[in-house]
Every structure is written in structure tokens, then in C-alpha cells.
């Protein structure tokens, strides 16, 4: 069994929250909760690849594909729990070209609107970075269209590479600019 499929100890946060790596079976068990977080974020206007209307069935189907990549060790999936309820998630994408095995992509940092302002996004990113270092990665990249997320990434030491105008769409159909960030990680060698 690959290491990414083995549940790691939970990282405890303030207010009774915890973050842990989800194996494929964990993700299957929590698939509806993952779908609910995604629907909440899209409903709230997050530009995370989806357009309105976006249903729980749409989200559930999308998570099925993610869970397959978790099972294939191409994605490390993190879940944040508050009072045993999944309230946030982020992914470390490992499916990079052969000449980029030293880096990973941060994908879909999502925190349910009811759980925001409690440090959950920062805790998810810290857990992701810790796992990336453990895996020997030296560079992470991400993109965002959210001012709040940009401020979080900057607080966590990420570097803004630039802004691409009209890169994506908001769920309602208007164009949005996207900011690219990167972060060098400490070497484990």
C-alpha cells in the first residue's frame, strides 16, 4: 500500500478542528461532505473551475475523479474537520511531467463559508507543505482568483509570480483575473 493511502495522524487546530490526509477509502466515506463543501464554495462565487448552476450531483461526480487520482497516488487529499464534520479540503497534485518531479501543484483550497475565519485554510496549507517536504518536493505552484486567498498565501510566505487577465470565469460567467503563486520548500536532502 502506498504511503499516501495510509492515514496520517491528525494535526490539531484551535477550536477543536483537525487536518489529516485522506486515503481513497476515507475520501469515499466523506465524498458527500466533500461535495457539500465544493457546492458551498461555488454557490458563494468561488472561481474553482465550475459554473452555475452547480449541483450536489455535479460535485459528487467530480469528486469521483479526484478519488481515483488519490487511489493512484497522483493526488494527496487533505481534509479539515471541525467537530467531526468535514469543513475544508485541499489537494497536492503529483501528476506532473517527468522533468518536473521536484514540484507539486496546490489544487482546490476549499473551506465551507460557515467555517471560515478559524485558521482552517492556513492549517490545510501548512499540512500540505509539510507533506510536500516529506515527499522531497522543492517547489509548489498554485493559482487563485480570490483576494482573501491571495492574502493567506502571502502570509504563508508564497511569492506572487504575476496576474493573468481574463484567465477564467466566475461561476456566473464574468471574466476574472488569476494570480499565479509559487513557494520554494526547504530541501530534505
> What residues does 76 pair with on adjacent strands?
92
Distance CA 40, CA 89 (A): 12
- Give dist(CA 183, CA 181) in Å, integer: 7
Per residue, the 3-state secondary structure of the chain, as one string, reads CCHHHCCCCCEECHHHEEEEEECHHHHHHCHHHHHHHHHHHHHCCCCCCCCCCCCHHHHHHHHHHHHHHHHCCCEEEEEEEECCEEEEEEEEECCCCHHHCCEEEEEEEEECHHHCCCCHHHHHHHHHHHHHHHCCCCEEEEEECCHHHHHHHHHCCCEEEEEEEEEEECCCCCEEEEEEEEEECCCCC
164-174 mean pLDDT: 97
Q: Please determine, for residue 3, whether its predicted confidence score (pLDDT) is greater than 70.
A: no
Query: How confident is the model at residue 1, as a pLDDT?
Result: 32
List pLDDT tens digits, range 55-99: 999 999 999 999 999 999 999 999 999 999 999 999 999 999 999
Cell triple for residue 53?
448552476
Q: Which residue reads 478519488 in cell numbers? A: 67
Q: What is the pLDDT of residue 13?
A: 56
Q: Which residues contact 79 (CB under 8 A, 6 or more apart)?
A: 19, 20, 22, 26, 27, 30, 34, 86, 88, 89
Q: Tell me the pLDDT tens digit for each residue of 140-159.
A: 999 999 999 999 999 999 99
Q: Tell me the three cell numbers of residue 44.
A: 458563494
Residue pLDDT, tens place only, 33-44: 999 999 999 999
The tens digit of pLDDT for each residue in 108-132 reads 999 999 999 999 999 999 999 999 9
Entry pTM:
0.91
Integer CA distances (angstroms), 177 to 29, 92, 145, 174, 188, in order:
35, 23, 6, 10, 35
- pLDDT at residue 9 is higher than 60: no
Identify the pLDDT of residue 16: 72
Q: Other CB atoms closer than 10 Å to residue 168's CB: what's the count?
A: 14
Q: Which residue has the higher pLDDT, 163 or 83?
A: 163
Mean pLDDT of the 155-171 span: 98
- Taking 50 as the threshold, does the pLDDT of residue 17 lie above it? yes
Amino acid at each position: 500500500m502506498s504511503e499516501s493511502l495510509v492515514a496520517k495522524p491528525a494535526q490539531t487546530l484551535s477550536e477543536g478542528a483537525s487536518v489529516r490526509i485522506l486515503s481513497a477509502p476515507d475520501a469515499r466515506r466523506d465524498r458527500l461532505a466533500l461535495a457539500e463543501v465544493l457546492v458551498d464554495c461555488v454557490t458563494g462565487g468561488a472561481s474553482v473551475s465550475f459554473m452555475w448552476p452547480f449541483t450536489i450531483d455535479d460535485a459528487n461526480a467530480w469528486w469521483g475523479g479526484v478519488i481515483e487520482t488519490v487511489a493512484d497516488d497522483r493526488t494527496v487529499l487533505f481534509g479539515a474537520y471541525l467537530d467531526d464534520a468535514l469543513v475544508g479540503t485541499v489537494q497536492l497534485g503529483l501528476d506532473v511531467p517527468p522533468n518536473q518531479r521536484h514540484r507539486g501543484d496546490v489544487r482546490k483550497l476549499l473551506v465551507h463559508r460557515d467555517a471560515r475565519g478559524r485558521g482552517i485554510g492556513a492549517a490545510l496549507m501548512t499540512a500540505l507543505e509539510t507533506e510536500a517536504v516529506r515527499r522531497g518536493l522543492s517547489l509548489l505552484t498554485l493559482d487563485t482568483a480570490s483576494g482573501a486567498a491571495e492574502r493567506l498565501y502571502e502570509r504563508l510566505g508564497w511569492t506572487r509570480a504575476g496576474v493573468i487577465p481574463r484567465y477564467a470565469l466566475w461561476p456566473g460567467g464574468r471574466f476574472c483575473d488569476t494570480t499565479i503563486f509559487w513557494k520554494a520548500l526547504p530541501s530534505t536532502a
